[in-house]
Structure 1
């Protein structure tokens, strides 16, 4: 939970550093730019999610060579995809800003932010792989250390570039990109220590034939393909939300961005339980244990619901003070306070959907995740269009409904998953010599 709570600090620090300058266009630019970057970068979030489930299953099966191969594959794929994004940053930025227009001043700030962030793309995607691998092994303290390093570097660099050098939204992007490069080198050092030996030793003992085995790569890409579609579908939900806010003006866009920081904190904190479920469920499937699977679902689910209720109450009672600290613009702060109740209830409504994500990611059930996400996104957009006459109120009602839709569309797949595990457990017992 500590590690996950530190993840959204990157976005919170970015918002506070630029929000306290009083520049509403710069804050709107960071909001728009951050959504573009999230849409592009998290399209490849399968590097985190897919690697967690696959690594956990290899670990549960005591397949150490495959565990190490997973890390090397993830780093290679993440670095290569990140480099491709860096090379394509020009057309990607132009296309995104053409679709998500927030006005000339906001767009200029967003362009500066996005351009700077793309220089961190190879590192950001490699960090996804590193985090997924560590979580798959249950190395939560190592994942926490990595996040602390990245968040600390981001805070320092943001302050230097924005408050010290006056670089505005571009300085926020540069600070975050620099922190991502610091994090990737730190993560590689952590992973090689966990694996035993330095990077060279790890490469030497990893057989090339096993590293690029066709069966392993085919399975990895099959899981990742479905997770990629699922991630894109869910990212479209947030992209639609931000773009809808932008159409309502710079003040609404900035206020919604502030409220999204609350949701980011809730999502990442409660994802701690989901990540625990991913690792435990992956290990349960690797060892073909129904009892371990049921225990992981029950305990993490109970704690997630309790945590969601506590977070909702905390946001409701303390959100006004946090908004006053984050933003100095009076109109933006007032709008954020008006819609705070909608953001406050997200942790409670979203807990079941986040937990089910963890269960199915750990089980590497990409098809179920893909299908549920696509249906959810289509229904959410339809509901948002229907409620558009209600302005920002309709926007938030549709967004809250999306969390209920995610749980409702994914939950029906759970009984079949449990039956599969029960069948595999029976087969494993029959194959075990008496």
Structure 2
């Protein structure tokens, strides 16, 4: 629920994206968790039970903070006066309608299926690495840490893209959708090239920072060039995921990941002479398929914004003198 309140602050349709508040909410969660873990787990010597209690309490603190921030930001809406409770006009029948709950459940189920597909890829990658020997298993696990760094670098941009494209579709603004897409692709290219340059120039030093076993580093370094290819493919796939979540089209993200899973399984299991290079090639192929399919389906996001705009236009009065003003009033809820 704490993450749900943070998500609401990131994706509110009528409120400006408050990524700063989402950051503070995360800081509150993690700082409280760290302080309480030290206090209960070490100083008061409650052990694992103290750490577990600290995690639960810190999540509830973050939930309370997030709910307060939602209430505070709802007061910024133009139709809510300073003395008015922003929840007074909340219609629970709309919030809890079966249609909306079913749509939310469908969205989360599709994201879950996508996550399961990725878990299958990672699990099969680890299993195949183990078949190549302990050195391959340890070396590939080390290289996977570099892949995790890429995902952490893309996470913030994907969340921002999710929020902005959701707002753009909510207002039926396909031009804004194109702007968000272009900005994300530019950032993806810049970050991809930055990570590639980092791995090319400092790859061995990063591996040495992750482990003290030089024999594992020597093995992993032989396959480090595969990680030079990973950033551009990874950033494109991860950022496009954010766009499709923001557009509430996770079914396409699910299908793209499923196709990527099939590509990985075929490439890694159908080759007669299996090797670690084949395994990494299959992993890069799955990233390429994910990125290419999502980019190919991107036009569907613009069409969704155009359809929303056409719907709003159909609701405007035909004798409206100022269509732009009428459109803004249309988005404002009534007092009823």
TM interval, shorter chain, is 0.7 to 0.9
Closer, same or farther in 2 for the Cα pair 1:293/1:145, shift >3 Å? same
Distance (Å, rounded) in 2 between the aligned partners of 1:157 and 1:248: 40
Distance (Å, rounded) in 2 between the aligned partners of 1:309 and 1:395: 23
Superposition map of 1:26-425 within 5 A: 75=1, 127=3, 129-137=4-12, 138-148=17-27, 180-181=55-56, 183-196=58-71, 209-387=93-271, 389-425=273-309
Q: In the TM superposition, what is the alpha-carbon distance from 1:361 to its structure 2 partner?
A: 0.9
Q: Which has the higher contact order (CA 8 A, sep 6+)?
A: 1
Contact 1:388/1:394 (<8 A) preserved: no
Q: In the TM superposition, what is the alpha-carbon distance from 1:221 to its structure 2 partner?
A: 0.9
Contact 2:130/2:137 (<8 A) preserved: yes
- Aligned CA RMSD, in angstroms, stands at 3.3
Contact 2:211/2:217 (<8 A) preserved: yes
Count of aligned pairs: 296
- Could you say what secondary structure the match of 2:212 adopts? coil
More helix by share: 1
Please, which runs of 5 or more residues in structure 2 have no aligned partner?
A: 73-84, 321-336
Distance (Å, rounded) in 2 between the aligned partners of 1:287 and 1:222: 23
- Could you say what secondary structure the match of 1:288 adopts? coil
TM-score, normalisation: structure 2:
0.76
Distance (Å, rounded) in 1 between the aligned partners of 2:135 and 2:86: 51
- Could you say what secondary structure the match of 1:196 adopts? helix
Contact 2:6/2:66 (<8 A) preserved: no
Q: Give CA deviations for 1:110-130 in whole Å, capped at 9, x if unaligned.
A: xxxxxxxxxxxxxxxx64x34
Q: Give CA deviations for 1:117-163 in whole Å, capped at 9, x if unaligned.
A: xxxxxxxxx64x344334324332233334446666569969x99xx
Distance (Å, rounded) in 1 between the aligned partners of 2:147 and 2:308: 38
- Could you say what secondary structure the match of 2:63 adopts? helix
Contact 1:387/1:395 (<8 A) preserved: no
Contact 2:256/2:293 (<8 A) preserved: yes
